Amino acid sequence: MKILILGGFLGSGKTSVLLQLASYLVKQSPAYEKTRVAIIENEIGQIGIDDKVLRGNGYEVRDIFSGCVCCTLNSDLIYGIKEIQETVDPVWLIIEATGVAFPDKIAESISKCLGIASRMITIVDASRWKRIRIPLENLLEGQLRAARLILINKTDLVDELELMDVETDLGKLNSSAVMYRISGIKPLDERLLKVIQDG
Amino acid sequence: MVKIINCAQLSKRKVYQIKTTLHEGAVAIAGETTFQDKSFDTCQTIIHEAFVSFNEWIADCGGIVGHLKCFISSLDQKEMISTTGDQVICRIQPSEKVGEVERKDEVQISIALIVFNIHQNDLEARLIGLFDRLEK
């Protein structure tokens, strides 16, 4: 089972990317053997919204609400992953973290408890970066520090100059991550989806 | 993390319940309710207007919107209303069955607000105000 952790601040577009990615992974498989994709949806509040959207699109979703799996609900996450592995045994497990989670902490606990190395993608909202960069500095830096892939989203809402500033800033926070520009107004590039799939 | 199951301001006579979670400096408040004989479109309009006014109020107070999200669902319509502080966006969702069993005349509403730098009581009061408006 391959595990992919989707992180990023609230409203950055994690659920939209997840939907496209899950669809791509299923479509890539041969017709006689559909790739099984399972999703763990973690939401900080006690009532989920994104899980309803994902279910409405036909996916089986396991919810972990009312806290964050990177800290307070860590044991729920490990239990949930084990249960999925035993019952569904998917090829891919995608974990959508809350918008206030630290993806590297999630990856660390999965590695320690289950011995599985996760892939981490962090999504950034280019249109809000300047606004939230300073007041939420610790959170944003923590979300980006271990990402291998950073998707800069909502690029259609900012001009090229601002986009370059965002990229420079992100490069300072994580110089080893590969960055891609994406936009909610057009589907994800198939080459990018393949990069995510191939790690 | 502090979890407040029944928020302080909610009296027992309300038919809905809102729940507050505090985490990493964010106030996360969620509430859910079901209305009989209410129009989907009326609820959608009220929530859309409320989110616009929440955005303005939060900005005026120096707060930061994490996100404001609502999922409205009836037997044949589903929609997500969301904002991250600027534009309020309504997205029609696939009308495949989700959530609880819905009756023909029911509109189910789930709302989740996550905001930074805003006092918990003030945000709770706003959400209660929205539910009260929907109930009228």
> Which CATH architecture best describes the domain A2-198?
3-Layer(aba) Sandwich (3.40)
CA–CA gap between residue A53 and residue B73 (Å, rounded): 11
Q: Tens digits of per-residue pLDDT, A63-102? A: 777 677 777 677 888 988 999 899 888 889 999 999 999 9
Rg (CA), chain A: 16
Write the CB contacts of A87 (distance below 8 Å, at least 6 apart in sequence). Answer: none
Q: Hey, where are the domains in chain A? A: 2-198
CB < 8 Å to B112, chain A: 43, 45, 47-49
pLDDT digits 0-9 by tens, A19-65: 899 888 888 776 666 668 899 988 877 777 888 888 777 777 877 77
- Look at chain B and report how many structural domains it folds into: 1
Q: Does B64 contact A135 at a Cβ distance shorter than 8 Å?
A: yes
Is residue A86 within 8 A of residue A97, CB to CB? The reply is no
pLDDT at B6: 52
ipTM of the complex: 0.84
Per the prediction, chain A carries an average pLDDT of 89
Question: Which of A55, A99, A125 is facing B114, going by the closest CB pair?
Answer: A99
Q: The tokens of A59 are what?
A: 């996916």
Question: Can you give the pTM of this predicted structure?
Answer: 0.86
* Predicted confidence (pLDDT) at residue A183 exceeds the cutoff of 90: yes
Contacts of B46 (CB under 8 A, 6+ apart): B130, B133, B134
Contact A15, A96 (CB under 8 A): yes
* Least confident interval from A1-5, A133-137, B2-6, B61-65: B2-6
Range of the domain at B16: 2-135
Shortest CA gap B107–chain A (Å) = 15
pLDDT single digits (tens) A109-151 = 999 999 999 999 999 999 999 999 999 999 999 999 989 999 9
As a whole number of angstroms, the distance between CA B129 and CA B74 comes to 22
- Euclidean distance between CA atoms A186 and B78, whole angstroms: 22
CATH number at residue B13: 3.30.1220
The closest CB to that of B80, out of A49, A98, A131, belongs to A49
Residue B3: the pLDDT is: 43
Sheet bearing B78-83, strands edge to edge: B2-4, B17-23, B26-36, B106-116, B64-73, B78-83, B89-92
Nearest CA in chain A to B92: A53
Q: Which two tokens stand for residue B52?
A: 């616009």
Bridge-based pairing of strands A118-125 and A149-153 is: parallel
**A96 reaches B (C-beta below 8 A):** no
